[in-house]
């Protein structure tokens, strides 16, 4: 094989493996590629400063027609959070992300709220905190806890974000879930 062809093949292989592996990233892409949904938290308090920054990142999310349909209900009190997530720790925060009820295009509201949740999820992890999105408890929360949690009138919870300090005794690499293969997901035309 000619030397130039060999060099070309090596470069092509490196470029395509970079596409698939996400190498050559920056701090944001590196963070996203390492992100995971933590289950293991310590009892250390999430600071008001971190919380405020995370909430502002949620508010910054894009939304359909810039409708910003979300409300964020922030709860620290374990008397209220424990019935929602059994293994919640003192110091964890739950953010209940709600959207207006009875909209014709409810799926758009859900989508917008999901984007706000993910902005906050990534923001929390960028601050060295753990985070996990929860959909499982939403139905029960909406049917039995809306008043207690003071979800705004006319709104229902779309999703819940848990934020807390990580329990560093747990190996985050093994805690992370795998993803499907790049080739099975992405189709270049």
Ligand X SMILES: Cc1cc2nc3c(=O)[nH]c(=O)nc-3n(C[C@H](O)[C@H](O)[C@H](O)COP(=O)(O)O)c2cc1C
Site residues, ligand X (CB under 6 A): 36-37, 132-136, 159, 176-177
Q: What are phi and psi of 46, to 5 degrees?
A: -75, 125
As a whole number of Å, the end-to-end CA separation of the chain is 30
- In the bound state with ligand X, the residue whose beta carbon lies nearer, of 6 and 182, is 182
- In the bound state with ligand X, the residue whose beta carbon lies nearer, of 46 and 84, is 84
- In the bound state with ligand X, the residue whose beta carbon lies nearer, of 4 and 169, is 169
- In the bound state with ligand X, the residue whose beta carbon lies nearer, of 51 and 161, is 161
Q: How far is the CB of 68 from ligand X (least distance, A)?
A: 20
Residue sitting closest to ligand X (CB) = 136
Q: How far is the CB of 117 from ligand X (least distance, A)?
A: 8
Residue 184's Cα: distance from chain center in Å? 23
- What CA–CA distance (Å, rounded) separates 186 from 189? 10
Which residue, among 164, 150, 169, has the nearest Cα to 54 in the 3D structure? 164
Cα–Cα distances (Å) from 77 to 69, 137, 148, 180, 187, in that order, read: 25, 17, 11, 37, 46
CA-CA-CA-CA torsion sign (10, 13, 19, 20)? negative
Q: Strand order in 93-100's β-sheet?
A: 71-75, 93-100, 155-164, 130-134
Q: How far is the CB of 53 from ligand X (least distance, A)?
A: 21
- In the bound state with ligand X, the residue whose beta carbon lies nearer, of 132 and 146, is 132
Q: How far is the CB of 95 from ligand X (least distance, A)?
A: 14
Q: How far is the CB of 135 from ligand X (least distance, A)?
A: 3
């Amino acid at each position: 094989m000619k030397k130039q062809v060999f060099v070309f093949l090596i470069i092509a292989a490196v470029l395509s493996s970079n596409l698939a592996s996400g190498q050559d990233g920056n701090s944001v892409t590196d963070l996203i590629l390492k992100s995971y949904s933590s289950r293991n938290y310590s009892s250390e308090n999430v600071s008001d400063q971190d919380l405020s920054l995370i909430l502002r990142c949620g508010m910054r999310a894009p939304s359909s027609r810039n409708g910003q349909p979300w409300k964020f209900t922030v709860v620290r009190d374990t008397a209220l959070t424990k019935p929602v997530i059994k293994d919640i720790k003192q110091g964890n925060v739950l953010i209940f992300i709600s959207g207006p009820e009875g909209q014709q295009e409810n799926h758009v509201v859900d989508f917008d709220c999901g984007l706000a949740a993910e902005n906050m999820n990534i923001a929390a992890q960028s601050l060295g905190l753990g985070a996990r999105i929860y959909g499982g408890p939403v139905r029960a929360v909406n049917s039995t806890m809306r008043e207690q949690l003071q979800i705004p009138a006319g709104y229902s919870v779309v999703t819940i974000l848990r934020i807390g300090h990580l329990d560093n005794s747990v190996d985050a690499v093994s805690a992370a879930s795998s993803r499907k293969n790049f080739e099975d997901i992405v189709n270049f035309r």
